[in-house]
Amino acid sequence: MCLILLAFVGPTRAAAETTVRFIGPLADHLLDRSGRLAITDITAPGSTVAFQQHDGRRAANYGPSPAPEAALWLRVVIPTLAERAGGDWVLALREPRIRNVSLFIQDAEGWRELRWVIGRSQAGSGFPTRYPVLIVPTTEVADSTVYLRIQTPSSMRASLWLHADMDFVSASGAENLMFGVVFGMLAALAMYLAAAALIARDPTSAMLSGLVLAYLAYVLGDQGFVGSILWPGGIVAARVMSFGGTFLLFAMILFYSPYFLRVSTHFPRVAAAVRGVAIAMLGLSVMALVSVLTDNPTLRRFSAPIGIASIALCVLLVVLSWRSERRRTLVFIACWGPMFAGGLVRMLHDALPAIGANPIAVNVNYLATCLSLLLSGIANAIDLQSREREARRAAEDAALRLRAFAESASDSFWESDRNGTVIFASGPTAQAIGLTPGRNLADLLGQDQQSGEISARDQLANSLVNTSEFRASITLPVTEGGLDHRLVSFRARPSGAGGGLQGIVTDDTAEAAAKERIAQQRKMAAIGQLAGGVAHEINNLLHPIVNLSRRVAGGIPAGDDRRRLLEIVAESGTRAATIVAGLLTSVRPTPRADSHAPLGQALGEAIRSLRSILPDKLALSFENYGEPGPMVDANEAFQVLANLVANAVYATRGEGHVDVRFKGSGAAGFILTVKDNGEGMDHETRQRAMEPFFTTKQPGQGTGLGLPIVYGIIHAWKATIDIESQSGVGTRVTIAVPGPTLSETEPTHVAQHAAQA
Amino acid sequence: MSLSMPPKPDVLVVDDVEAVRVSLAEALRGAGYNPICVASGHEALTEIANRPFAVAVTDIWMAGIDGLKLIKLIRDTNRDLPILAMTGGGPRLTIETAGALAEVWGAERVFVKPFDEDVLVKAIDAIVARQ
C-alpha cells in the first residue's frame, strides 16, 4: 500500500479571518507505521516519538506505508479564536477518503477523544458527512494544543480547516450545490448521449455516454457522496465506485478517443491495440471491485502508473491523428483541454494551498472535467448532425439520380393506390399515354382497342383485389381519341401495406413495329418465291397460247370468224401475262431506266395525273416542302401513290379528305404520308394489310395487290412503311425514305436483296 | 430443193415445256431455220458436241442443268456460239436478276415469256447475218 498523506500547509492568510482559518500549516506531523500508538504514548512525558516540525509551508509524509493500519498524527496549536456568542467551531479535514479521525483535546480530566468514523452520523446530526467534521467548543480548544489521529487505506490529500459553525454550513452547502449541478449536467449529458447512440446507432455517442457515466460514478464514490449524503453507510459501494470507476474511466477514454479521432481508418493496427488495452482496463475495473470487496491492496499499488500510461496513450493518439485528422484532433484537444487545465490548477493548488479556501477552487478539476465532457458532448452532437446531414444529402442525391434515370428511361415508373388511382408516375412513356397522378388506371386501360379473352382492365381489378402481380400488354392512344398509338406493357407488383400496385410501363411500339416489319419481310420473301414459281409456270403456258394462236390466226383470212376468235385467245393470254407481271411487281418492280426523277417531283406529277381521275367530292391536298428527295423511277412513285390514294378513296367512299405530304432532307431522310378521314381499319385488317390478295373489297372491286405492290416498290427504295389506323377515325400511311447519301453508300444491299427474293 | 440454195441454219431450242418447243419450232421453221428442239440441258450439250449450230435459244429455269448453268457450260467449250435466253420467271430469281445473270454468262439477249416470237426471229436473223 502506498500511503501518501498530505496535510496541506501554507502561509496563513494575512487578512484576519474571524470565521474560517486554514490551520494546516500549523500542524506538526508523525507517521505511526504500526497504528498502535495511543494518545498517552505520544503525550507521555519523555516519549521518544518525535513529531516532524512544520516548516510553515507544508507538512507531509510521502512514501510507502508499512501497514494498512498506519496512522498519521497531527499536532496543531489552535490559534486564538474570536469569541462568538453561542457559536462552536468546526474542524474540517477535506478528504473523503479518510476512514476515521480522532481528535484529542486535553481538559481537566485528561485527554478527551472526539471520533469521526466514515459513514456514521455525527452527534447532533442525522447525516454522515462526506469528510471528517468535528465540532469543537471554542472555549476548550482556543490557544491549546490538540492531536489528530487520521487513518485511511488509500492515498489522501487533506486540508485542515477551522470554521465557525455557520460558515462551515454555508461553505459545505455551496460545495454540495456545485456538485449537484455538476452531477445533474453529467446525468443529462449521459442520457442525451445514450439516446443519440440508440437513435443514430452511433458507437462514438455510446462510448462518450459510457465515459460520462463512469466519471459520474467515480466522482460520486470518490467524493464520498455515496456513503454519506446519497447512501449513508454505503462505504463499500463508495469505494467500489471510486476505485473501480477509476479503471472504468480509463477504459472508456481509451474506447472513445480512437473512435472520435478515427484512428481505425488511418491506423487500424493502433486502433486494435488501443481497443485491446481498453478491454484490459475493463477487466481491471472488475478486479478493482474484487480487490475492494476482499480488501486486497495489490491493485492499488499499480493504479497510479496505469493512469499515467492511459493518459500517455491518449496523447500518443492525438499526436498520431494530428496529420490525418487535423480538424478532429483540434476539436479533441479543445474539448479535453479544460480537464488537463483543471488538473494543472489542482496541482498548483497543492503547491499553493491557500487557494483551497474556496470550495469552487478546491474542486476546480471536477468542474473542468465536467466542462470537458460537456464540450465533447456538444462536439459529438455537431459531428452526429453533420454526418446525418451528409447521409441525408447522399440519400437525396441518390433519390435525384434515380429520378433522373427514371425520367430518361423508356421504362416509366408508376404506383397506384388500392382503388387503381395513380399516385406516382414518372418518365416519358407514362406522360405519353396520360398515366399521371390522379388518373384512374382502369379508365386508362379501358381505352385499349383489343378485346382479348381477359381485358387489361379485368386483370387490373384482379390484381388489386387479390394483391397479385399485374401484367398487361396493350395499345393505347397517345392522346385521347387520336391517331398515334403506343403499344405499352405494364408490369407491377403489390406495393405492400397500402394494397396498391407499384411497377413500370414500357413502350414496346418501336420493338413491335420492328418485329412486324421483319415478319412482313419474311412473308414477302416467301410470297415472292411462290409468285415467281407460279409466274414461271403460267408464263410458260401463256407463251405458246399467245404465239400459236397468233400464228394460226395469221394463216386465216381477215374477216373469217375463226381468226377473230383466235385473236381473242391471244389477247386474253397477253392480258393474263400482264396480271402475272403485276403480281411479280409486288415482289420486285421492273425498273425503266428512262423515267427517273426526284421523288418529290415524281409525286407532284403523280398527284396531277391522279386529280384528273379522282371523284369530284374527294379533296386531295398535297404539301411538298424541303429538299426534292432521292432519285426514283417516276412510274414506281406513281404506283405507290396511286395505290395509297386508291385505298384512301375507297376508305372515304369517294367523299372525304386525302392529305398527301412529302418532306425531309438528304441528311435526315424523307417522309411521305398519305392520310385520310375514311372508315379506318381494325387491328386485324391493319395487320394483314400488306398480305398479297388480302382485300376488304367486294369481289371484282380489287385484287388485293395494292399495298403489297407499294411494299415491293418501297422495299427497293430501302424505305419503311408504317400504317396507323383507327376504326371510324381514319388511316395514316407513313413511308420513311432514307436520304440519297444513304442509298448511294450501300448500293450492293439492293442487289443482294434482289438475289434473295 | 436446189443444191445452190444455202443450207438452213440449225438453231438449237432448249425448253422443258413441250408446248413452248412446238411454238418456237413453228416460228423458226416458218422463218427458214432448222430448229433442233431438246427438253434438257444434258441433251443440249450432246447436240452441241455433235454438230455446229448457228444460234442456241435456251430457257433459264429448268430442272436438272438450268439455263444459266447451260450457258456457262457452252461458253466453257464453245466460245463462239451465240446464245439467246428466255424466261418466264422462277421461284428463286426474279426475272431481272435471271436475265442479268444470263447476260453476264454470255447470253446476247433475254426474252421474257410470253414474248412475240417474231422479235426472237429478227434477233436470230441479225446474228446469222453477222456471221
Terminal-residue alpha carbon distance, chain B = 23
- Least Cα separation, residue B109 to chain A (angstroms): 17
**Which residues in chain A have their CB less than 8 angstroms from residue B60's CB?**
none
Contact list, B26 vs chain A (CB under 8 Å): 548, 551
Does residue B2 belong to any structural domain of this protein?
A: no
Helix (H, G, I), strand (E, B) or coil at A82: coil
H helices present in A662-739, as ranges: 683-688, 706-716
Which pLDDT value is given to residue A626? 76
CB contact under 8 A, A536 and B26: no
| Beta strand residue intervals within A362-417, DSSP E | 411-416
Name chain A contacts of B23, Cβ cutoff 8 Å. Answer: 543-544, 547-548, 551
Task: Report the distance separating Cα B40 and Cα B56, nearest Å.
Answer: 13
In a domain, B3, yes or no: no
**Segments of chain A scoring below 70 in pLDDT:** 1-18, 25, 55-67, 82-86, 123-125, 155-157, 347, 349-362, 410, 448-453, 479-483, 521-522, 524-526, 528-529, 585-595, 612-616, 688, 690-706, 708-709, 740-757
At residue A95, the 3 state secondary structure works out as coil
Rounded CA-CA distance A491/A470 in Å is 6
Nearest-CB residue to B88 (from A536, A545, A755): A536
The closest CB to that of A542, out of B26, B113, B117, belongs to B113
Residue A309 CA to its chain's centroid (Å): 40
- Phi/psi class of residue B125: alpha, beta or left (left: φ > 0; alpha: ψ in -120 to 50)? alpha
Mutate to test the interface with B, among A534, A546, A547 (most CBs of B within 10 A): A547
CA–CA min distance B86, chain A (Å): 10
Nearest one of A47, A94, A101, A95 to A74, comparing CA atoms: A101
Interface residue B104 vs chain A (CB under 8 A): no
CA distance A536 to chain B (A): 4
Check CB contact of B106 with chain A, cutoff 8 Å: no
State how far the Cα of A231 lies from the Cα of A134, in Å rounded to an integer: 21
| Cell numbers found for residue B127 | 446474228
Kindly state the cell numbers that stand for A244: 473501480
Question: Judged by CB atoms within 8 Å, which residues 509-528 of A form the interface with B?
Answer: 528
Do A92 and A133 contact (CB within 8 A), yes or no?
yes
Residue B63 contacts A where some CB pair is shorter than 8 Å: no
Interface probe, candidates B95, B97, B111, chain A, greatest A C-beta count within 10 A: B95
Q: Which of A530, A534, A539 to mutate to test the interface with B (most CBs of B within 10 A)?
A: A539
Per CB-CB distance under 8 Å, the chain A contacts of B91 are 529-530, 532-533, 536
Contact in structure between A415 and A502 (CB atoms under 8 Å): yes
Instruction: Give Cα A264 to chain centroid, integer Å.
Output: 22
Q: State whether B23 and A547 contact (CB < 8 Å).
A: yes
Provide the grid cell at A749: 444491299
Q: For chain A, report the end-to-end CA distance as a whole number of angstroms.
A: 110
The distance of B40 to chain A (nearest Cα, Å) reads: 15
Give a yes or no: residue B125 inside a domain: yes
> What SS3 state is found at A342?
helix
Rounded-to-10 torsion of CA A311, A313, A319, A322: -90
Whether B4 is in a domain gets the answer: no
Residue B18 lies in a domain: yes
CA distance B15 to chain A (A): 9
Q: Could you give the CA distance from residue B106 to residue B122 in angstroms, rounded to a whole number?
A: 19
What 3-state class would DSSP assign to A312? Answer: helix
- A538 CA: distance to closest CA in chain B (Å): 8
CA distance B65 to chain A (A): 17
CB A592 within 8 A of CB A613: no
Q: What is the pLDDT of residue B15?
A: 93
| Burial environment of residue A298 by CB neighbours within 10 A (0 to 12, 13 to 18, 19 or more) | exposed
The DSSP secondary-structure symbol of A52 reads B
Cα Rg, chain B, nearest whole Å: 14
- Residue A456 · residue A472 · CB < 8 Å: yes
Specify whether the CB–CB gap between B32 and B58 falls below 8 A.
Answer: no
Give me the residues of B, 69-98, that contact A with CB < 8 A.
87-97
Give the span between the Cα atoms of A503 and A262, in whole angstroms.
43
**Is the Cβ–Cβ distance between A58 and A9 less than 8 Å?**
yes
d(CA A236, CA A219): 15
Question: How many A-B residue pairs are in contact by the CB < 8 A criterion?
Answer: 94
In one-letter notation, the amino acid at residue A534 is V
For chain B, how many structural domains are there in total?
1
- Reduced to 3 states (helix: H, G, I; strand: E, B; else coil), residue A148 is strand
pLDDT, residue A651, reads 80
The pLDDT score that the predictor gives to residue A181 is 92
Coil, strand or helix at A96: coil
Whether A752 has its CB under 8 Å from any CB of chain B: the answer is no
Residue A741 has which C-alpha cell? 447519301
Helix (H) or strand (E) holding A27: strand A27-32
Cis before A128? omega within 30? no
CATH number, position B76: 3.40.50.2300
Grid cell of A463 as nine digits: 390484381
Q: Where are the alpha helices (DSSP H) in A232-267?
A: 235-261, 263-266
Q: What is the DSSP string of A61-77?
A: E-S--S-TT-EEEEEEE
Contact A537 B112 (CB under 8 A): no
Among A747, A741, A745, A743, smallest CA distance to A667 is for A741
From B96, which residue of chain A is nearest by alpha-carbon distance? A590
Partner-chain contact A530 B115, CB within 8 Å: no
The answer to whether position B65 is within a domain reads yes
To the nearest whole Å, the CA of B19 is away from the closest chain A CA by 6
Which of B20, B94, B117 lies at the smallest CB-CB distance from A540?
A: B20
Contact call for A540 and B113, based on CB within 8 A: yes
The Cα of A691 is separated from the nearest Cα of chain B by a number of Å equal to 18
Nearest residue of B to residue A543 by CA position? Answer: B114
What grid cell was written down for A110? 485528561
Q: Does A716 touch chain B (CB under 8 A)?
A: no
Question: Which residue of chain A has the CA closest to B30?
Answer: A551
Q: Which residues contact A132 (CB under 8 A, 6 or more apart)?
A: A91, A92, A93, A95, A98, A100, A101, A116, A150
How far does Cα B88 stand from its chain's mean position? 14
Nearest to A539 among B92, B114, B117 (CB): B114
Sign of CA dihedral B21, B26, B28, B32: positive
For B89, the closest chain A residue by CA position comes to A536
Q: Where are the alpha helices (DSSP H) in A82-164?
A: 138-141
The answer to whether B15 and B23 are in contact (CB under 8 A) is no
pLDDT given for residue B103 in this prediction:
66
Q: What pLDDT is stored for residue A447 in this prediction? A: 76
Q: How far apart are CA A331 and CA A313, in angstroms?
A: 18
Beta pairing, strands A5-7 & A156-158 = parallel
Which residue(s) pair with A51 in the sheet? none
Min CA distance, A589 vs chain B (Å)?
A: 9
Q: CA-CA distance, A671 to A691, in Å (whole number)?
A: 23
**From the list B23, B91, B112, which residue is nearest A532 (CB)?**
B91
Residue B49: Cβ within 10 Å count: 9
Low-confidence residues of chain B: pLDDT under 50: 1-2
Query: B114–A591: do the CB atoms touch at under 8 Å?
Result: no
How far apart (Å, rounded) are the C-alpha atoms in residues A532 and A755? Answer: 12
Task: Indicate whether B5 belongs to any domain.
Answer: no
Answer whether A501's CB lies under 8 Å from A493's CB. yes
| Residue type for position B14 | V
A209 closest CA partner among A390, A386, A381: A381
Q: Is the dihedral of CA A224, A229, A233, A236 positive or negative?
A: negative
Q: Cell for B73?
A: 457450260
Q: How far apart (Å, rounded) are the C-alpha atoms in residues A652 and A639?
A: 20
Whether A15 and chain B come into contact, CB under 8 Å, resolves to: no
Task: Provide CB contacts within 8 A for A340, sequence distance 6+.
Answer: none
Closest Cα in chain A, distance from residue B99 (Å):
12
B117 contacts A541? CB cut-off 8 A: no
Q: What residues of A are in contact with residue B116 (Cβ under 8 Å)?
A: 547
Q: Give the pTM.
A: 0.53
Q: What's residue A748's pLDDT?
A: 34
List, for residues B46-76, the tens digit of each pLDDT value: 999 998 999 999 998 888 887 878 887 887 7
ipTM above 0.95, yes or no: no
Q: Which residues of A touch B15 (CB under 8 A)?
A: 540
For residue B20, tell me if it sits in a domain: yes
Distance CA(A1)–CA(A527), nearest Å, equals: 112
Cβ atoms within 10 Å of A736's Cβ, excluding its own: 18
- Per the CB < 8 A criterion, the answer to whether A610 and A648 are in contact is no
* Residue range of the domain that includes B50: 10-130
Taking the CA atoms of A252, A253, A258 and A260 in sequence, report the sign of the dihedral they define: positive
| Residue ranges with strand state E in B19-119 | 34-38, 55-59, 83-87, 109-112
Q: For residue A589, what pLDDT is reported? A: 37
Nearest to A533 among B19, B90, B113 (CB): B90
